[in-house]
A and B are shown apart, each in its own frame.
Chain A
């Protein structure tokens, strides 16, 4: 069954996909830089009434916890990536590479870019994990 993006169910499935990904396990094996929060900005016209933050506690190739948070909480994470729904949809559809998206201003990054760049392969694997989720987009 297709899961709506963004939703708690989608996020839980994402955690499962990350933890079953051999590619991410390898590429993120040395990641100890902390939580990465992904924030989908509110877009009431399609039903996202408030900013939807996904708090991903990533550590050494696994996702230890995934929980829904608000924008304020998300910004407490060492890495917080914020974007419009449309941008995140482009990421999931592999039309926008996230690190490049940050540098082009399509996604906002609060945190240390060099650390993210060092793990560009891991970020690609994280995107790959999203493609394995049967996703229902709110605007389709």
Chain B
């Protein structure tokens, strides 16, 4: 591992993790431990409409539940957070229980701010602006990918202004994450694969980030091992609770890793095609990852040797100068077996849109930590073209 005497980092991951089948049904105990009495469930429309998960959580909370806010959509916006905040205030909520994927969790982080601080959400955009712990927040993820249950960032769109607002604050880290494999049982194979690839990207990016450090590396390394072994099983048989559980753990570990070590070019590029062409975040990451590894290869080949080890590849005969290419090829084979699309053109990104995405990517916070300094959109465009 490439650490030297200049190693200097902060690792902060205070979220309590509860793992196990049917542990979501213990949510009331977790709320009581937080000394809360009025929980507001925050979940997304699809989950509320097509599954009984939010209702199960409501029942599990019993008298501790004051209501369900189920208007969260993909790419959550300020207007949705405001609606949720208004409902939470009316109901006197003192705890948020988010049930869903990244969008529901990020929306809940925003609502937690509004319930504590009041005012307009926009006023708190930035980094480390908040000065006190926010409304207690319990997360029950229904996907294994975002790791948002252990990250200190929420991304919420200002649809009127057409921009993303970023809230990065240790005070919005959720208090509890309940990782219950049963909650991900119904996730279809395609989404299971795409969200799982989001998690592996978190892990790999945490390892090649300029802010990489030993604790995050350890978590990322193990996350990659778990994903390599269990993602194909979870995709092949959604009812394989062992695989579902290990994927939740992997996504969680990768989340804690990147929340501390940060990310890099893969996410910067994926965020931009997501924002511009609504490509699913996990899919965008999955498609862009190989091209990005080749781009970074000469800057962090030794890191990619470790990534290969985590992927189960014998690295004895692989030089650090070729590790990026070998890792890229290995991951392409992996995603092909998962049945995922391989090119940006396959997911609705037009070639003429790449230039605009290249400019956008330069404004993404993730790019700051890429092992290679990037300030020229032409460099980004080349990577996009490789993945197109």
Contacts and interface: CB of A to CB of B under 8 A. Distances in A.
A105 B170 contact: yes
Interface string A94-130: 0000011011111111111111011011000000000
B164 A103 contact: no
Contact of B128 (A102, A115, A117): A102
Contacts of B128: 102, 105, 107-109
A30 B262 CA distance: 28
Interface in B158-173: 163-166, 168-170
B375 interface: yes
Contacts of A104: 10, 211
A113 B126 contact: yes
Contacts of B262: 103
Interface string A53-96: 00000000000000000000000000000000000000000000
A134 to B, nearest CB: 26
B198 to A, nearest CB: 20
B362 A118 contact: yes
A93 B163 CA distance: 34
A113 B10 contact: no
Contacts of B369: 100, 103
A114 B210 CA distance: 18
A79 to B, nearest CB: 9
Q: Residue among A99, A102, A106, A117 with the most chain B CB within 10 A? A: A117
B164 A114 contact: yes
B364 A103 contact: no
A118 B12 CA distance: 27
B187 interface: no
A99 B375 CA distance: 14
A60 B128 CA distance: 28
B368 A115 contact: no
Contacts of B365: 103, 113-114, 117
A109 B369 CA distance: 17
Given A100-B368, A103-B168, A120-B368, A110 B129 contact: yes
Nearest to B367: A117
Contacts of A114: 163-164, 166, 363-365
A59 B198 CA distance: 39
Q: Residue among A103, A107, A111 with the most chain B CB within 10 A? A: A103
B277 interface: no
Nearest to B262: A103
Contacts of B163: 112, 114
Nearest to B124: A110
Contacts of A99: 368
A121 B377 CA distance: 14
Contacts of B164: 114
B211 A100 contact: yes
Contacts of B169: 105
Contacts of A118: 362-363
B82 to A, nearest CB: 19
B332 interface: no
A91 to B, nearest CB: 14
B127 A105 contact: yes
B368 A103 contact: yes
Contacts of B210: 100
A100 B10 CA distance: 12
A120 B127 contact: no
Nearest to A97: B368
B215 interface: no
Nearest to A106: B10
Interface in B313-369: 362-365, 367-369
A109 B367 contact: no
Contacts of A109: 126-129
B28 to A, nearest CB: 33
Contacts of A103: 127, 168, 262, 365, 368-369
A14 B78 CA distance: 38
Given A103-B168, A103-B368, A105-B170, A112 B127 contact: no
B4 to A, nearest CB: 15
Contacts of B368: 99-100, 103, 117, 120
13 contacts: A103-B262, A103-B368, A104-B211, A105-B152, A105-B170, A108-B128, A111-B126, A113-B126, A113-B365, A117-B363, A117-B365, A117-B368, A118-B362
Given A104-B211, A105-B12, A112-B125, 5 more contacts: A100-B211, A102-B127, A103-B368, A109-B128, A112-B163
Interface of B: 10, 12, 125-129, 152, 163-166, 168-170, 210-211, 262, 362-365, 367-369, 375
| The 9 A-B residue pairs with the shortest CB-CB distance in the complex, in nearest-first order | A114-B363, A118-B363, A108-B128, A109-B127, A109-B126, A102-B127, A110-B126, A105-B128, A113-B166
